[in-house]
Structure 1
Amino acid sequence: MLTETIIEGKTPPPAGAAADWTIPQHWERFTAEDHRVWDTLFARQQELLQERAVSDFFKGLDVLHLSRPGIPELDELNERLFARTGWTIVSVPGLVPDDIFFEHLSKRRFPAGNFIRAADSLDYIEQPDVFHDVFGHVPMLAQHDVADFMQAMGAEGLAAMRAGALHRLARLYWYSVEFGLAREDGETRIYGAGLLSSFGESHFSLESDVPRRPFNIPEVLRTRYRSDAFQHGYFVIPSFDALLKLLTDANLAALYEELEGLPDLNIDRSDG
């Protein structure tokens, strides 16, 4: 998950991590309590998301129904996910530098934090853990248009860093991959990983009176977001193939230049 904090230059990996910040999962080191937390969160969100999440989430969810309960073993998970869309999940110690993150995405690899929240922190964790990263992202990565969109976001993220426009690309990522809503069968449903993995905001995103605006890339690039609280509004896509086309058709480099000097917007106020 991105924030609007840009990591400048090269940050060396922590001890024990490879140059790309990956580490062995060491699944056997997760405790029985860790696995119970995963199972509790999984069961709770799976029930909650009925009638709230897009149908593609449930179609992709079966990649997480593995041969044993608890936190997925990535080798087994990756065998199933790679067969679907050519993506794999790699373990990392926590948040990684932006250049490392986007490089992984551009190569169809998603970094997952190799830890899980404590049992007394089920509803909130400051850094994305394995539940957010795997439960939230993997089912959607099993959908082909989303898988291609994520790889394109990786390439665009690297380009935005070179252009000094990462703060704008981060907003595009935030309002789609993490906190995106979609229209399906005449209803608004959840597809963003930050919503799929959040008990509280999965309610709030659909049931509150905050704005839910049509997804428009120039507007999204100008719109601030919250990383410390529920969003003040959301953007809604018509479909995943439409989202992919919006990105592939957009000239983001030109948009960055056009938007230079324009004020940022707040999604809950049209005046910015």
Structure 2
Amino acid sequence: MEIGSGAPELAASSAYRQRRDEIAANAATYVPGEPIPEVEYTDAEHALWRLVSERLADRHRHLAAPEFNEAAERLGLGSDGVPQLHEVSDRLDQLTGFRLRPASGVVPFALFCGSLADGYFHSTQYLRDSVTPFYSTEPDILHEVIGHGSALADDRFANLYRLAGEAVRRVESEDAVQFIAKTFWFTLECGLLDSADGPRAYGASIVSSYGELEHFRSAEIRPLDIADMTHVDYDITQYQTTLYSARSLTHLEDVAGEFWASCDGTSIEKLLVVDI
């Protein structure tokens, strides 16, 4: 989902809602193990993909982390038109063992993240409203394939997704699940990596948001710290006012990866109690 757009809330057009619901209906009846249904995208939808993906690629060169750009190049989506989800899924399977599953909309975090432990990522197939091409308050294929899909083409990023999924599977309390959701948000959704010319984005919500790529450096950027996240709230509908930057991908693995690999309900409860 492209969240943190910070753009004014506008009513979705009726044409968009009808098209979204039409495509989402296929996902709602999807049975895991069956072929992913193809979508016959319109010329207008292909044009929307080209417009947004080309604009994003231009900003990625200067504002996305090199590790993300290398992963995106490895996936090789291209900007000619909307890719079929099964084609992206097959490519990811060859690269890192991840596969995509069609989703009809927002997937509850425990299910969404838990599926990552098994190497599955839930993705919508519809595109955002063409009236607001550079942001969306709902999940759409641009965010999920360009943002998350690109990261999942890299073995190290893919391993972090798996570790987050395994952590969700391991805990039992809703508080623990929600704290893992917060750490996921501040890293794989909105994470940054230090670089010589300033922090660069790798988190899917930022790299898939044309507007937030221009604004994320205006946020309060803190060193990556899991414990510090207990003190910070976030609003998924706005540009983020607080972000975390790891010194490197290795540092991200050492901090977030190790947390997900070792956390359990007791350790998370201790973190939350300290916050209180």
User: Would you say same fold, with TM above 0.5?
Assistant: yes
- CA deviation string 1:179-234 (max 9, x = no partner): 1110134631111111001111111112x2x3110001111244211111111111
For 2:10, the equivalent position in structure 1 comes to none
For residues 193 and 90 of structure 2, the distance between their equivalents in structure 1, rounded to whole angstroms, comes to 28
For 1:138, the equivalent position in structure 2 comes to 149
2:225 equivalent to 1:239: no
For residues 15 and 70 of structure 1, the distance between their equivalents in structure 2, rounded to whole angstroms, comes to 24
Unaligned runs of 5+ in 2: 4-26
* Aligned equivalent of 1:205, options 196, 216, 221: 216
For residues 232 and 77 of structure 2, the distance between their equivalents in structure 1, rounded to whole angstroms, comes to 39
Code of the residue aligned with 1:220 in structure 2: it is: M
Stretch of structure 1 that moved more, 249-258 or 189-198: 249-258
CA gap of 1:157–1:24, structure 2 versus 1, over 3 A, is same
2:25 equivalent to 1:16: no
Stretch of structure 1 that moved more, 171-180 or 183-192: 183-192
CA gap of 1:22–1:234, structure 2 versus 1, over 3 A, is farther
Q: Give me the CA root mean square deviation.
A: 2.7
Stretch of structure 1 that moved more, 68-77 or 46-55: 68-77
Stretch of structure 1 that moved more, 78-87 or 173-182: 78-87
TM-score, with structure 2 as normaliser: 0.81
For 1:94, the equivalent position in structure 2 comes to 105
Q: 1:248: how far off? A: 4.3
Q: Count how many residue pairs are aligned between Structure 1 and Structure 2.
A: 251
**Percent of residue pairs bearing the same amino acid type:** 24
- CA deviation string 1:99-125 (max 9, x = no partner): 321232111121111210121111221
* Aligned equivalent of 2:123, options 112, 132, 136: 112
For residues 52 and 177 of structure 2, the distance between their equivalents in structure 1, rounded to whole angstroms, comes to 32
For residues 67 and 154 of structure 1, the distance between their equivalents in structure 2, rounded to whole angstroms, comes to 29
Question: Of Structure 1 and Structure 2, which has the larger fraction of its residues in helix?
Answer: 2
- CA deviation string 1:124-176 (max 9, x = no partner): 21211000000011221122211100000011122345464222111101000
For 1:103, the equivalent position in structure 2 comes to 114
Contact in 1 for aligned 2:168/2:177 (Cα 8 Å): yes
Code of the residue aligned with 2:226 in structure 1: it is: I
Code of the residue aligned with 1:16 in structure 2: it is: T
CA gap of 1:211–1:118, structure 2 versus 1, over 3 A, is same
For residues 147 and 184 of structure 2, the distance between their equivalents in structure 1, rounded to whole angstroms, comes to 14
2:223 equivalent to 1:214: yes
- CA deviation string 1:70-92 (max 9, x = no partner): 11123332332222211122211
Contact in 2 for aligned 1:103/1:154 (Cα 8 Å): yes
Match of 2:199, SS state, is strand
Match of 2:51, SS state, is helix
For residues 87 and 72 of structure 1, the distance between their equivalents in structure 2, rounded to whole angstroms, comes to 17
For residues 67 and 48 of structure 1, the distance between their equivalents in structure 2, rounded to whole angstroms, comes to 15
CA gap of 1:51–1:15, structure 2 versus 1, over 3 A, is closer
* Structure of greater relative contact order (alpha carbons < 8 Å, 6+ residues apart): 2
Code of the residue aligned with 1:24 in structure 2: it is: I
Contact in 1 for aligned 2:2/2:138 (Cα 8 Å): no
Unaligned runs of 5+ in 1: 4-13, 265-272
For 1:223, the equivalent position in structure 2 comes to 232
